[in-house]
């Protein structure tokens, strides 16, 4: 499992203790910055059996569906969903290997570029405003910073 939004005070032992309620944890590893030896707020949890990871995903899905049913609970500060550690809600996904992660990253980047190319907003007023200011400055013989000469 890939876990994000960890507090910088969190250590591997705390992470392991939090996830042991879902099944036996084989190992926990925090992603660290090599230069500073501090972790980046994310890490990996490896369960001994697949059932542990399935239990985490089931728990998250059940809590999210309960919150969706009663959206007023979230707005009014009612019961919170998800898994928390050090007062922070953890963002949890299934971990993938490096090649798959690269492929997913490239696909997301390509999709973002396609969306940027598809942005065909009507910028007529933006251009019109620029023309208006330039015409005003030239018409009244103003200096480039639009002060009277």
Contact 92, 2 (CB under 8 A): yes
Does residue 147 belong to any structural domain of this protein?
A: no
Q: What pLDDT is stored for residue 75 in this prediction? A: 39
Does residue 88 belong to any structural domain of this protein?
A: yes
Residue 59 phi, psi (nearest 5):
-60, -45
Which pTM was predicted?
A: 0.62
Burial label for 19, CB within 10 Å (0-12, 13-18, 19+), is buried
Does residue 149 belong to any structural domain of this protein?
A: no
Poorest-pLDDT segment among 41-50, 58-67, 109-118: 58-67
Give per-residue pLDDT as tens, 62-108: 887 665 554 444 433 444 568 899 888 999 988 888 899 899 889 99
- Nearest residue to 86 via CA among 2, 17, 25, 1: 17
CATH number of the domain encompassing residue 22 = 3.30.70.330
Residue 128 structural domain: 2-139
Does residue 86 belong to any structural domain of this protein?
A: yes
Beta strands at 39-47 and 25-32: parallel, antiparallel or unpaired: antiparallel
Does residue 11 belong to any structural domain of this protein?
A: yes
Q: Is pLDDT above 70 for 138?
A: no
Does residue 96 belong to any structural domain of this protein?
A: yes
Count how many domains the chain has. Answer: 1
């Amino acid at each position: 499992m890939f876990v994000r939004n960890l507090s910088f005070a969190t250590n591997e032992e705390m992470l392991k203790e939090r996830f042991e309620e879902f099944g036996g944890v084989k190992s926990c590893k925090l992603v660290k910055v090599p230069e500073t030896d501090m972790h980046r707020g994310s890490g990996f949890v490896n369960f001994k059996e697949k059932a542990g990871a399935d239990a985490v995903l089931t728990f998250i899905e059940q809590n999210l569906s309960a919150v969706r049913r009663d959206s007023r609970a979230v707005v009014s500060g009612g019961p919170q969903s998800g898994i928390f550690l050090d007062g922070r809600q953890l963002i949890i996904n299934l971990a993938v290997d490096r090649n798959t992660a690269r492929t997913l990253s490239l696909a997301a980047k390509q999709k973002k570029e396609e969306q940027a190319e598809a942005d065909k907003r009507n910028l007529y007023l933006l251009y019109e405003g620029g023309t208006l200011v330039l015409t005003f400055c030239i018409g009244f013989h103003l200096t480039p910073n639009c002060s009277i000469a």
